[in-house]
């Protein structure tokens, strides 16, 4: 049924949706001495992908499942520190062929993923406006080679630094209060990966007596194409270089009690390069204390 090289495909696509999911955890700073904890799960499974030219090609069904812990703490006035720890499963379903070629067995591999450590400073909160800056360090703690052909990675093997500027504003439509926030970030990458621009816009509102938060989010990643690392490198990495994507998503967060809530999130790439073409889903439970 598949008459193309799945090995080549696996070496040309990336889980940029994973990065977008991680970035969606970024929020405003915590009050000094207070904490925020989120335990979550994220899932994507795809049988097609965007090529390096932005076209759509089929691929053997491959997926990724991530269980994670995200913790943020107010370490000083208007300064928060955070850490994101993922445990990642990468799998591929068995492949069967109509040409008579023997089937290829499925595989699954799991390990610790790439850990993110961040710090954020809130510079301004006045008349409904909020301004902050943040720095996230991506640590190469995930296994950058795995599986029978080396392409079942749980990390990209490089250290990166993402610097972001965030601006938020509360507003009303009629009597209904809303909020909006936007951010721009520069991601400096190492080991031959191109640097990137990151853009995010988000807006939302509370309903049901402020127990239910509804929000929408748009995200972009744009490569500077300033490095020439091939996606088909010696490790067969699926975390490709020069990824680009425009992503749309939404989230629903329900407050179970005053300091606890559950959330459900989805995101889909509308266009992109070197990225799976599939919707990612996540869920989690969060606590403030």
Q: Region 69-94: what's the mean pLDDT? A: 92
E strand or H helix at 42: strand 35-50
- CA pair distance 104, 86, nearest whole angstrom: 29
How crowded is residue 75: how many other Cβ atoms within 10 Å of its Cβ? 14
Is the confidence at residue 17, as pLDDT, over 80?
Answer: no
Check residue 237 and give its pLDDT: 41
Confidence of residue 232 (pLDDT cuts 50, 70, 90): low
- Who wins on pLDDT, 95 or 271? 271
Q: Region 231-250: what's the mean pLDDT? A: 70
The pLDDT tens digits for 158-186 are: 899 999 999 999 999 999 999 999 999 99
Is the confidence at residue 80, as pLDDT, over 90?
Answer: yes
Inter-residue contact 274 to 242 (CB < 8 Å): yes
- CA pair distance 231, 229, nearest whole angstrom: 7
Check residue 9 and give its pLDDT: 44
Confidence of residue 231 (pLDDT cuts 50, 70, 90): low
273 in any annotated domain? yes
Alpha helices in the chain (DSSP H): 6-10, 16-23
Is the confidence at residue 25, as pLDDT, over 60?
Answer: no
70 in any annotated domain? yes
Give SS3 for 7. helix
- The alpha-carbon radius of gyration of the chain (Å, integer) is 20
Tokens read off for 234: 């010696």
Tokens read off for 121: 């400073």
- Who wins on pLDDT, 232 or 213? 213
Q: Which residue has the tokens 């961040």?
A: 118
Give SS3 for 86. strand
Q: How far is CA 169 from CA 36, 45, 77, 135, 249, in A?
A: 22, 35, 21, 21, 20
- CA pair distance 217, 159, nearest whole angstrom: 27
1 in any annotated domain? no
Give how many domains the chain has, as a whole number. 1
State percent of the chain over pLDDT 90: 56
166 in any annotated domain? yes
Q: Which domain holds residue 73?
A: 6-288
127 in any annotated domain? yes
Confidence of residue 234 (pLDDT cuts 50, 70, 90): very low
- CA pair distance 68, 113, nearest whole angstrom: 9
Is the confidence at residue 8, as pLDDT, over 90?
Answer: no
Check residue 241 and give its pLDDT: 82
Measured between alpha carbons, how far apart are the two ends of the chain, in Å?
53
235 in any annotated domain? yes
- CATH number of the domain that 194 lies in? 2.40.128.130
The pLDDT tens digits for 116-157 are: 999 999 998 888 899 999 999 999 998 877 777 777 778 888
- CA pair distance 83, 116, nearest whole angstrom: 6
């Amino acid at each position: 049924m598949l008459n193309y090289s799945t090995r080549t495909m696996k070496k040309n696509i990336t889980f940029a949706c994973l990065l977008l999911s991680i970035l969606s955890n970024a929020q405003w700073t915590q009050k000094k001495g207070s904490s925020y904890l989120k335990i979550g799960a994220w899932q994507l499974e795809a049988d097609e992908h965007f090529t390096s030219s932005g076209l759509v090609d089929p691929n053997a069904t491959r997926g990724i499942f991530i269980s994670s812990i995200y913790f943020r703490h107010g370490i000083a006035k208007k300064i928060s520190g955070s850490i994101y720890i993922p445990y990642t499963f990468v799998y591929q379903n068995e492949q069967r062929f109509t040409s008579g070629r023997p089937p290829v067995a499925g595989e699954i591999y799991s390990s610790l993923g790439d850990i993110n450590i961040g710090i954020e400073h809130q510079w301004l909160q006045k008349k409904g406006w909020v301004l902050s800056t943040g720095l996230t360090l991506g640590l190469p703690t995930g296994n950058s080679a795995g599986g029978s052909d080396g392409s079942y990675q749980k990390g990209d093997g490089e250290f990166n630094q993402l610097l972001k500027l965030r601006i938020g504003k509360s507003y009303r439509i009629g009597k209904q209060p809303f909020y909006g926030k936007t951010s721009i970030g520069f991601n400096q990458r190492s080991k031959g990966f191109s640097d990137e621009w990151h853009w995010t816009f988000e807006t939302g509102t509370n309903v049901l007596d402020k127990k239910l938060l509804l929000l929408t989010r748009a995200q972009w990643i744009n490569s500077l194409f300033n490095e020439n690392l091939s996606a088909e490198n010696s490790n067969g990495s699926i975390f490709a270089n020069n990824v680009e994507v425009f992503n749309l998503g939404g989230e629903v967060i329900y407050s179970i009690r005053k300091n606890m809530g559950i959330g459900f999130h989805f995101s889909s790439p509308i266009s992109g390069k070197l990225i799976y073409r599939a919707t990612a889903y996540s869920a989690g439970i969060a606590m403030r204390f």
